[in-house]
């Protein structure tokens, strides 16, 4: 065999014999064929997603973004309720195609899933009744035996509390939508949550003050949760890139955050 033909033959053999990711249908193909994109939402994290109990419908920044996603795909949008504790299990069980609603990027989640490009830079910050805000400027101030720290179950807030606080009392409030009302009512002294939520909740509850949300305790980012499908991730990232560059995402952000 001429030496010139050997590299060509080797390439042909590799292409024919090696499994290719592109030979398998991606989740993107499944979504397009189904005509529906299923979006997982917890419905308890304003401003990203909240379940309106009166109408039974989801609303929020990522609900509007899901509508934009469906329009860009040319398919209908189906919202699938999930919880912070079952988020990864529901994704693995293919109950939804894309998880939205203010999901924190973590290395543990990255072990079993993909994330879209980051959308919000965040980090954990404290929020307390305004009369008490000077008491909780640092984690050391919070981590005291008589301090009650409220948290919602199953998400990064609870994990942060249990990893960072050794002396404080951690009180789990089953409903994420009720935890700030409980804080106002005095069921706890402080809560630690994403800085973007702390900023929003001080607008919704005038009794509460976010404590240095511009200098959070750690670094964090929020993104969309995806199955480990590189084709779907590439499409989602490109859609987000276009939405950011054309101002669509900024318009919705102003609607829900300002």
User: Is the pTM above the cut of 0.85?
Assistant: no
Nearest CA to 85 among 25, 156, 22, 147? 156
Could you give phi then psi for residue 152, rounded to 5 degrees? -95, 150
| Structure-token pair, residue 241 | 């890139």
Q: How far apart are CA 119 and CA 109, in angstroms?
A: 17
Spatial CB neighbours of 65, under 8 Å, sequence gap ≥ 6: 100, 243, 249, 252
Q: Which CATH superfamily is domain 24-121+220-257 in?
A: Periplasmic binding protein-like II (3.40.190.10)
CA–CA distance, 127 with 189 (Å, rounded to integer): 9
Residues 15-61 pLDDT 10s: 444 444 445 789 999 999 999 999 999 999 989 999 998 999 999 99
Model pLDDT, residue 229: 98
Q: Is-cis flag, bond preceding 188, omega within 30? A: no
Quick: pLDDT tens for 10-25. 444 444 444 444 457 8
pLDDT in tens, 186-224: 999 999 999 999 999 999 999 999 999 999 999 999 999
Q: Are 162 and 172 contacting, i.e. CB atoms less than 8 angstroms apart?
A: no
DSSP 247: T
Are the CB atoms for 238 and 42 separated by under 8 Å?
no
- CA dist., res. 39 & res. 77, Å (int): 7
Q: Which of 183, 181, 200, 203 is nearest to 191 (CA)?
A: 183
CATH 3.40.190.10 occupies which residues in the chain? 24-121+220-257, 124-211
What pLDDT sits at residue 250?
A: 96
Residue of higher predicted confidence among 7 and 27: 27
Which DSSP state fits 152? -
Sign of the dihedral through C-alpha 214, 217, 221, 224: negative
- CATH topology (fold) of 124-211: D-Maltodextrin-Binding Protein; domain 2 (3.40.190)
Residues in CB range of 69: below 8 A, 6 or more apart: 37, 39, 77, 98, 236, 239
Q: What three-state secondary structure class fits 126?
A: strand
Beta-carbon contacts of 55 under 8 Å, excluding residues fewer than 6 positions away, are none
């Amino acid at each position: 065999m001429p030496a010139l033909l050997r590299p060509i033959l080797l390439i042909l053999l590799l292409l024919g014999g090696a499994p290719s990711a592109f030979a398998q249908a991606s989740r993107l193909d499944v979504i397009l064929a189904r005509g529906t994109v299923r979006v997982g939402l917890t419905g308890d994290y304003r401003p990203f997603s909240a379940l309106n109990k009166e109408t039974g419908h989801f609303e929020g920044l990522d609900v509007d973004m899901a509508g934009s996603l469906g329009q860009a795909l040319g398919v209908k949008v189906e919202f699938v309720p999930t919880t912070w504790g079952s988020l990864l299990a529901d994704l693995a069980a293919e109950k939804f195609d894309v998880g939205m609603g203010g999901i924190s990027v973590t290395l543990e989640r990255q072990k079993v899933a993909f994330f879209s490009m980051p959308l919000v830079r965040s980090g954990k910050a404290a929020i307390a009744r305004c009369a008490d805000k000077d008491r909780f400027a640092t984690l050391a101030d919070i981590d005291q035996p008589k301090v009650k720290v409220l948290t919602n179950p199953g998400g990064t807030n609870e994990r942060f509390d249990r990893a960072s606080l050794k002396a404080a009392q951690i009180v789990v409030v089953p409903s994420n939508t009720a935890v700030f009302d409980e804080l106002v009512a005095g069921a706890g002294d402080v809560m630690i949550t994403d800085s973007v939520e702390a900023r929003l909740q001080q607008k919704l509850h005038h009794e509460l003050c976010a404590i240095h949300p511009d200098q959070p305790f750690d670094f964090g980012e929020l993104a969309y949760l995806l199955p480990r499908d590189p084709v779907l991730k590439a499409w989602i990232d490109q859609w987000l890139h276009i939405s950011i560059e054309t101002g669509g995402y900024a318009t919705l952000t102003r609607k829900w955050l300002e």
